[in-house]
Structure 1
Amino acid sequence: MKEEQHLSVVDPVTVGLADWEIWQTAQRLSRRTIEERLRVVRQFHVESGVQPAFAEALDVVRWMAGHEGWSDSTTVTYSSYLSAWFRWLNVTDRRPDNPMVKVGTPRAPEREPRPIADRDVPKLLSTRMWGSTRVMILLALLAGLRVHEIAHVRGEDFDLVAGLLWVRGKGRKVKSVPLHPILREIAANEMPLEGYWFPMRGCPSEPMLAKSVSDVVGRAMRRAGVRGTPHSLRHWYATALHDDGNDIRVVQELMRHKSISSTQVYTRVTDARRREAVAGLDLM
């Protein structure tokens, strides 16, 4: 009897997270989002010593206050993950309240695009690197793909007749991006027509990890002496589109942003333009 009772005792964190994972999968959330949410809840459990299912507002506040090194965006993101967790517990009648209501929502930082400099584009592309690395960089520069989207690119995603690349982005939404002539040439003559373009080493049926793509591109950027992150290449794509005079709605569609407010950060006046405007003042 005692043995049966012992076997029936299960860690409530494990049970809760397993059920939440299934629920999120049924909601068709991306695997990447689900895994990040689960990771943060587990991190809260390990670092606070509090079972997440039973945490109070003060437990969350103490945990967040203990991470002064977090950036504002990280704090906002982690807070949203915990809010989703407690909201699910509340909706599924696992607890009567949502402690995040008392914690409040951290102020989101005002985001600004950080594209690589125009002069750094040819500098980066002229640097010696593997052919596959160059293709990754071109997918970011000429199609605005995120690193996890690059990792999942397949030959079947390209419609060479229509000149389109079909991208599975955030929330599993699939949208098309017009193919730049350079990418069209690469898809037709250099890369496989079927399967992953960047498969996991030793496992061609699985895609490369997004972090691996980020590491590969990041190393190429550092060798070239180009400041920024792999995501800065996507920022360059949006900034270049806007600076070329394209309408903000066009840029939104090409960036595959759900809200135009996400795109509007690229319409802000740059320091270079402000300096040019002031320098152009004529008192005569």
Structure 2
Amino acid sequence: MSTNVTIDQWEIFQHGTRRSDTTITERIRVLATFEAETGVNPAYAQPLDIVRWYALHEEWSPGTHYTYHSYLTTWFKWLQLQDIRVDNPMVKLGTVKQPKRKPRPVADTHLIALLKTNMHHRTRVMILLATLAGLRCIEIAKFRGEDMDLPRGRMLVLGKGGDEKWVPLHPILAATAETMPVRGWWFPSNRTRPGQHVTRKSVSQSISDVFRRANLPGSAHPLRHWYGTTLLEGGADIRVVQELMRHGSVTSTQQYTGVTDIRMRAAVEKLDLHRAIA
């Protein structure tokens, strides 16, 4: 069976299991990159082929290595499931430990400076959705006027895997909604995708451009980090933050937001040396 036919079948399978378009595209891209750089059909790759491919990329971060390793693991498990392949070469490679995520929230002063920067209105709305609702880039890209429920003070977020969740609406976002379409995409594609919404990459690029013009460090995802971290620092229960950030488990929330600086500083300041001496 040719590489293209096999990968096409895998793509259909992933759509059937409701994987996101971004995940599917990335998984297929990684397989194509593997084949282009090794000259080996990924359906018939051996452990040594994979190890040598890893060795070509010393520049990979631990996170990238973990992600690509997991993509290949999923690929070979699917090949076995479809009886296309009997063995799984990833078994001989062992496991790659998932690196712990550390929070990278935008600093408060930087966020203020960012919002004072001149930008297109729709880019400002993207930033507000990330900052005041914790939306991911793909969630921002797919946002519609129908997702706003102003009378009830809530908004609908279409998350990973097609999951839908209503979350409380921040007053600033409620006011912002008055300036956006009541129906249809808030961020329609102007040229490349007529009738469709912009891509996740387009949202990320638009926000990154504003950071760059403002001469500030940061990008779209640290705005979501700011949302989660600020909720925790404000005293919100971690289960509440989990629901607001739409994480599948509280473990994800703990890894995502980390232990906040304010809480660590408060804990240290409570140390009483005089009482210990007494």
- TM-score (normalised: structure 1): 0.91
Q: Are 1:104 and 2:90 an aligned pair?
A: no
Tell me the alpha carbon deviations over residues 216-262 of structure 1, each in whole angstroms, 9 at most, x when there is no partner.
Answer: 10111122232222100000000010000000000000000011111
Q: Given the alignment, which residue of 58, 66, 72 partners 2:62? A: 72
Q: 1:208 aligns with which of 182, 193, 198?
A: 198
1:11-37 CA distances to partner (integer Å, 9 max, x unpaired)?
710010011111111112111111111
TM-superposed CA distance for 1:270, in Å, is: 3.9
Distance in 1 (alpha carbons) for counterparts of 2:266 and 2:78: 52
Residue aligning to 1:190: 179
**Pairing partner for 1:128 from 90, 100, 118:** 118
Q: Percent identity?
A: 54
Once the two structures are superposed, the pairs formed by residues 219-230 of structure 1 within 5 Å of their partners are 219-230=209-220
SS of structure 2 residue aligned to 1:175: strand
Q: Which residue of 1 aligns with 2:107?
A: 117
Residue matched to 1:160? 150
Contact 1:238 1:255 in 2 (8 A): yes
CA contact (8 A) 1:152 1:196 kept: yes
Letter in 1 for 2:145: G
Aligned positions, number: 273
**Residue 116 of structure 1 aligns to which amino acid in structure 2?**
V
RMSD across aligned positions (CA)? 1.7
Provide the rounded CA distance (Å) in 2 between the counterparts of 1:41 and 1:267: 32
Secondary structure at the aligned position of 1:199 is classed as: coil
List, as ranges, runs of 4+ consecutive aligned residues in structure 1 with deviation greater than 6 Å: none
TM-score, with structure 2 as normaliser = 0.93
CA–CA distance in structure 2, aligned partners of residues 25 and 281 of structure 1: 54
* Mapped partners of 2:126, 2:36: distance in 1: 36
Counterpart Cα distance in 2 of 1:56 and 1:26: 28
Distance 1:280 1:249, change over 3 A: closer
Instruction: Please point out which of 117, 141, 154 is paired with 2:131.
Output: 141
Aligned to 2:159: 169
Q: Which runs of 5+ in 2 are unaligned?
A: none
| Distance change in 2, residues 1:220/1:55 (3 Å) | same
Q: Could you report, residue by residue, the CA deviation over 1:49-97 in whole angstroms, capped at 9, with x for unpaired residues? A: 1011111111111111211101111111111111111000001100101
Work out whether residues 146 and 231 of structure 1, in 8 Å CA contact, stay in contact via their aligned partners in 2: yes
The answer (yes or no) to whether the contact 1:252–1:263 under 8 Å persists in 2 is yes
Cα distance in structure 1, aligned partners of 2:266 and 2:172: 33
2:58 & 2:162 partners in 1: Cα distance? Answer: 33
Alpha-carbon contact 2:207-2:220 (below 8 Å) kept: yes
How many angstroms apart in 2 are the aligned matches of 1:21 and 1:264? 32
Aligned partners of 1:179 and 1:278: how far apart in 2?
Answer: 35
- How far apart in 1 are the matches of 2:171 and 2:38? 53
Letter in 1 for 2:141: A
CA contact (8 A) 1:242 1:266 kept: no
Supply the distance in 1 between the matched residues of 2:253 and 2:263 (Cα, whole angstroms).
Answer: 19
| Structure 1: segments with no counterpart, 5+ residues | 1-10
Instruction: Tell me which amino acid in the other structure corresponds to 1:24.
Output: Q
- Inter-partner Cα distance in structure 2 for 1:268 and 1:19: 39
Distance in 2 of aligned mates of 1:67 and 1:252:
35
2:106 touches 2:223 (CA, 8 Å); kept in 1?
Answer: yes
CA distance in 1, matches of 2:259, 2:23: 32
Map Cα deviations across residues 101-132 of structure 1 (whole Å, 9 max, x no partner).
Answer: 11122121111110001122221111111111
Residue in 1 that maps onto 2:188: 199
Structure 2: distance between partners of 1:191 and 1:71: 39
